Structure 1
Amino acid sequence: MLTLIGLGLFDELDLTLRGLEAAKNADKIYIELYTGKWSGSLENLSEMVGKHLGELTRSDLEENSDKIVEEAKDKDIVIFVQGDPLVATTHASLLIEARKKDVEIQILHNASIFSSIAETGLHIYKFGQAVTIPFQDKTKGKSPQSIYNVIANNKERDLHTLCLLDIIGEKNKYLSVSDALEILLKLEEENGKGAITKDSKVVVFSSGKSSKIFYGVVKKLLKEAFELPAVIIIPAKLHFTEKEYLELYEI
């Protein structure tokens, strides 16, 4: 059996009791930490489950996942994943491969950024398609047009846009909020549809053991230094309850 277990948003204390039980009964446990920032202790987690944790790299899952699937044919294999197991598309691909080889699958969910953004007071059902803002060196200094198109389309449909900021977990490298906002403003300058300007009000949200919410116009937020990782939310027209909630965090 192949079991994917979500670790939640902060550390090993976010592990569910069901996840802990499954890990204790596993023959072998892997953990991947490259898709986000995890503030836990591998040593403490290993002590909790009573087993060694084999750390996986991106290539282990994206290029050599067949080895893990083969192991799961006759052993109980667990993979710990930050947040919720199926938010990253890499893990969905792993499950497809496992199903094709008739390997039994179990998913134990946990909190992720997609559920925690409700803490901002914005209504979850009003979110449209999310985007990821990449490091500029990945795109040779050019911001993908698709990002702007999604934001503009969401705005036309009166939907909020969640902007995930790029991360290179292996290098502990995170795209800053100010750099991400500059990228968005550059896209606005190139397109001019009014999807986001320096006078637009946006939300900056960092989640973890101590979540922080900031609400204000882009030109003010550009001057702030935020704890990373964080996300940016570009709100659509606010419901009066959303407005009342966010104004408590306005800067």
Structure 2
Amino acid sequence: MLTFIGLGLYDERSVTVEGREALRAADRVFAEFYTSKLVGAGVDELAAHHGVEVEVRAREGVERDPEPILAAAAEGDVAFCTAGDTMISTTHTDLRLRAEERGIETRVIHGVTAQSAASSLTGLQNYRFGKATTLPFPYAHGGDDVPESVIETIEANRERGLHSVVYLDIKVGTGPSGPDPDHEEYMTADVAAGLLAEGWRDELAVVVARAGSPDPVVVADRLGALADREFGDPLHLLVIPGDLHHVEADALAGFAGAPADLVGE
């Protein structure tokens, strides 16, 4: 049995009760934290809280060499854990398909996603979000501006009146000069807002910082204004609103302090 467990958004306690029970009952526990990570807890805290040994796999250890995970799951109960919801990444879908092809039973225990949390915290309705995009560090795409693909995604959503989630780049194990096992870097919302204000337009945006933590931050303003503020520890993301329903406009004003002239009030 191979059980995919979403750990939620923040720390060792963010997992669902069902996920916690499956995690603690597993014979072996694998985890990856390159697609996202729990910023409120490290691997040691996760392992100690649940009384398990956690075997962390690098990207290559999941994508190119999944055999240790699959072999263990063929012989016993294995938990494969990630931050957020475990099936957001196509890498994990591929791993599940490989297991099914070998006759290994699989199941999925979901966790809260950053996108669902962003909808809940901002008051923007989940069904009115379009395609999400990721804003990379400039050095990661070989330029010094916003990739055209990011702008195209935002513009396409806005043409349909839809909101856009902009995930912000995480670099673990690689930096500006190439592979670096000690490198951890998180794009912050102020940096992202500055890039978009310059490379796109100075429009209304919403910062969501530390969703799932005891002290989430939600702030709405023009990108240029957000670029001049600090939002504390990661993880951060941006939401670029599309057309606003009057309840959504009220929510951005009430929950995120959006200026009245930006939400039509």
More deviation, 232-241/48-57: 48-57
User: In the alignment, which residue of structure 1 is the partner of 2:105?
Assistant: 104
User: In the alignment, which residue of structure 2 is the partner of 1:172?
Assistant: 184
More deviation, 55-64/238-247: 55-64
Deviations 1:15-34 (A, max 9, x none): 22211221222111112222
Identity %: 30
Displacement after TM superposition at 1:3 (Å):
0.8
Is residue 128–residue 159 contact of structure 1 (8 Å, CA) maintained in 2? yes
TM-score, normalised relative to structure 2: 0.85
Q: Does residue 67 of the first structure (1) align with residue 68 of the second (2)?
A: yes
Corresponding residue SS for 1:159 = coil
Corresponding residue SS for 1:214 = strand
Q: What letter matches 1:122 in structure 2?
A: L
TM-score, normalised relative to structure 1: 0.90
Is residue 133–residue 180 contact of structure 1 (8 Å, CA) maintained in 2? yes
Could you say what the CA RMSD is over the residues aligned between the two structures, in angstroms? 1.7
Displacement after TM superposition at 1:41 (Å):
4.3
1:181-220 counterparts in 2 under 5 A? 181-188=193-200, 197-198=201-202, 200-206=203-209, 207-209=211-213, 210-220=215-225
- Ranges in structure 2 where 5+ consecutive residues have no aligned partner: 174-182, 259-265
**Following the alignment from structure 1 to structure 2, what is the Cα–Cα distance between the partners of residues 137 and 41?**
27
**Following the alignment from structure 1 to structure 2, what is the Cα–Cα distance between the partners of residues 25 and 204?**
38
Q: What letter matches 1:134 in structure 2?
A: P
Q: Does residue 226 of the first structure (1) align with residue 231 of the second (2)?
A: yes
Corresponding residue SS for 2:75 = coil
User: In the alignment, which residue of structure 2 is the partner of 1:24?
Assistant: 24
**Following the alignment from structure 2 to structure 1, what is the Cα–Cα distance between the partners of residues 101 and 118?**
34
- Ranges in structure 1 where 5+ consecutive residues have no aligned partner: 189-196
Deviations 1:130-168 (A, max 9, x none): 000111111111543221111111111000011000102
Is residue 83–residue 113 contact of structure 1 (8 Å, CA) maintained in 2? yes
Q: What letter matches 1:226 in structure 2?
A: F
Corresponding residue SS for 2:70 = helix
**Following the alignment from structure 1 to structure 2, what is the Cα–Cα distance between the partners of residues 201 and 130?**
17
Displacement after TM superposition at 1:109 (Å):
0.7
**Following the alignment from structure 1 to structure 2, what is the Cα–Cα distance between the partners of residues 47 and 146?**
42
1:1-251 counterparts in 2 under 5 A? 1-38=1-38, 39-118=40-119, 119-141=121-143, 143-170=146-173, 171-188=183-200, 197-198=201-202, 200-206=203-209, 207-209=211-213, 210-227=215-232, 228-248=234-254, 249-250=256-257
Displacement after TM superposition at 1:125 (Å):
0.6
Aligned length: 242
